[in-house]
Amino acid sequence: MQAPRQPASAPFHDSAADDTPIRGDSTQWQETQSPTSSELAECLFFSPEDGRIWLNDQRMLLMHSSSFGALRREFIDHMGLQRARGLFTRTGYQSGARDAQLIRTRWPNADRTAVFFAGTRLHSLEGMTKVEPLHFKFDADSGFYEGEFLWHHSCEADEHIAACGIGQDSACWTEIGYATGYVSGLFGRLVIFREVECRAMGHKVCRVIGKTAEQWGDVSADLACLYATDSSAAAPTAPPTAPRAQAVTTDQLVPIGASAAFTAARHALQRVAPTPATVLIGGESGAGKELFARELHRLSPRSEASFVALNCAAIPENLIEAELFGVERGAYTGASHSRPGRFERAHQGTLFLDEIACLSLPGQGKLLRALQEREVERVGGGQPIRVDVRVVAATNVDLRQEVKAGRFREDLFYRLNVYPITLPPLRERRDDIPLLADAFLTRYCRDYGRTPAGLTMRALKALLLYDFPGNVRELQNLIERGLIASDEGRPIDLVHLFHNEPMPPQLYSISQAGTLTTAVEAPAKAASGSLLERLQALQITPDLDGLEKRLLDEALAKADGNLAAAARLLGLSRAQFAYRLKKHGNGQAAQPSG
Residues that bind Zn ion (CB under 5 A): 154, 157, 172, 198, 206
Measured from the CB of residue 120, what is the shortest distance to Zn ion in angstroms? 15
Contacts of 112 (CB under 8 A, 6+ apart): 12, 20, 22, 23, 24, 138
Measured from the CB of residue 176, what is the shortest distance to Zn ion in angstroms? 8
Measured from the CB of residue 175, what is the shortest distance to Zn ion in angstroms? 7
Q: Which residue lies nearer to Zn ion by CB, 172 or 357? A: 172
Q: Which residue lies nearer to Zn ion by CB, 52 or 203? A: 203
Measured from the CB of residue 136, what is the shortest distance to Zn ion in angstroms? 18
Find, among 72, 213, 186, 236, the residue nearest to 194 by Cα: 213
Q: Which residue lies nearer to Zn ion by CB, 33 or 82? A: 82
Q: Which residue lies nearer to Zn ion by CB, 198 or 519? A: 198
Q: Which residue lies nearer to Zn ion by CB, 87 or 205? A: 205
State the DSSP string of 242-270. HHHHHHHHS-TTS----SHHHHHHHHHHH
Q: Which residue lies nearer to Zn ion by CB, 153 or 271? A: 153
Measured from the CB of residue 180, what is the shortest distance to Zn ion in angstroms? 14
Neighbours of 418 (CB within 10 A): 14
Q: Which residue lies nearer to Zn ion by CB, 206 or 555? A: 206
Measured from the CB of residue 189, what is the shortest distance to Zn ion in angstroms? 25
- HEC-encoded secondary structure of 421-474: EECCCHHHCHHHHHHHHHHHHHHHHHHHCCCCCCECHHHHHHHHHCCCCCHHHH
Q: Which residue lies nearer to Zn ion by CB, 40 or 176? A: 176
Distance, CA of 170 to CA of 192 (rounded, Å): 15
Strands in 191-197's sheet, in edge-to-edge order, are: 23-25, 130-139, 144-152, 206-212, 191-197
SS3 assignment, position 23: strand
Q: Which residue lies nearer to Zn ion by CB, 93 or 577? A: 93
Measured from the CB of residue 526, what is the shortest distance to Zn ion in angstroms? 47
Distance, CA of 80 to CA of 230 (rounded, Å): 13
Measured from the CB of residue 152, what is the shortest distance to Zn ion in angstroms? 10
Measured from the CB of residue 68, what is the shortest distance to Zn ion in angstroms? 14
Distance, CA of 208 to CA of 390 (rounded, Å): 61
Q: Which residue lies nearer to Zn ion by CB, 84 or 475? A: 84
Measured from the CB of residue 149, what is the shortest distance to Zn ion in angstroms? 11
Distance, CA of 31 to CA of 48 (rounded, Å): 32
8 Å CB contact between 574 and 564: yes
β-bridge pairing 390-395 and 279-282:
parallel
Measured from the CB of residue 201, what is the shortest distance to Zn ion in angstroms? 8
8 Å CB contact between 360 and 402: no
Q: Which residue lies nearer to Zn ion by CB, 37 or 91? A: 91
Measured from the CB of residue 476, what is the shortest distance to Zn ion in angstroms? 47
Measured from the CB of residue 203, what is the shortest distance to Zn ion in angstroms? 8
Measured from the CB of residue 198, what is the shortest distance to Zn ion in angstroms? 3
Distance, CA of 35 to CA of 116 (rounded, Å): 10
β-bridge pairing 144-152 and 206-212:
antiparallel
State the DSSP string of 167-204. -SS---HHHHHHHHHHHHHHHSS-EEEEEEE-GGGT-S
φ, ψ of residue 162 to 5 degrees: the values are -60, -35
Q: Which helix (H) or strand (E) holds 354?
A: strand 350-354
Q: Which residue lies nearer to Zn ion by CB, 158 or 284? A: 158
Distance, CA of 552 to CA of 133 (rounded, Å): 60
Find, among 306, 321, 294, 337, the residue nearest to 379 by Cα: 321
8 Å CB contact between 29 and 113: yes
Strands in 508-510's sheet, in edge-to-edge order, are: 58-60, 52-55, 44-47, 508-510, 516-518
| Cis preceding-peptide flag for 35 (omega within 30 of 0) | yes
State the DSSP string of 470-519. THHHHHHHHHHHHHHHSPTTS-B-HHHH-SSSPPPPP-EEE-TTS-EEE-
Q: Which residue lies nearer to Zn ion by CB, 169 or 402? A: 169
Q: Which residue lies nearer to Zn ion by CB, 42 or 195? A: 195
SS3 assignment, position 151: strand
At residue 394, what is the residue type? A
